Amino acid sequence: MKLVIVTAVEEYQAAILKLFKNAHIENFSSSEIDGHKNKTTLLNTSNWFSGEKLGAESSMFFSFTEDKNIDDLFRLIKEFNQNLETNNPIKAIVVPIERFI
């Protein structure tokens, strides 16, 4: 069993739910988060309050699941990201679990 963590901009929430379903990951949790980039953009430099760092509304999903489901999920995410027209790919990581109850 491993922990898979997936992050993406809020607009992809429905797509991620579908990806989890297609990967047979039925039990998972989610949380709204703010995504940040430290890179200065033209929009930020022209902003009156340019010292403020504005976050992008994002989502984080996580699940304790089996390797096969994670392999399927990573394959589906890779396919999804290859067809994007934006620079906001879905990101995912896997964390091994040493012990659990």
The CATH code of the domain that includes 13 is 3.30.70
Residue 65 placed within a domain: yes
Residue 51 placed within a domain: no
Instruction: Write down the pLDDT at residue 1.
Output: 87
Describe the chain by its helix, strand, coil percentages, rounded to 5.
Answer: 35, 30, 35
- Residue 92 near residue 73, CB atoms below 8 Å: yes
Give 89: exposed, middle or buried? Use CB within 10 Å, 0-12, 13-18, 19+.
middle
Chain segment 31-63, per-residue pLDDT in tens: 998 877 676 555 545 544 545 556 678 999 999
- Tell which residue, 21, 18, 4, 1, has the closest CA to residue 74: 4
Residue 100 placed within a domain: no
Pairwise CA distance, residues 31 & 6, whole Å: 11
Q: What value does the CA radius of gyration of the chain take, rounded to a whole number of Å?
A: 16
Residue 99 placed within a domain: no
Query: Domain span at residue 69?
Result: 1-35+56-88
Confidence label for 10 from pLDDT (cuts 50, 70 and 90) = very high
Domain count, the chain: 1
Residue 68 placed within a domain: yes
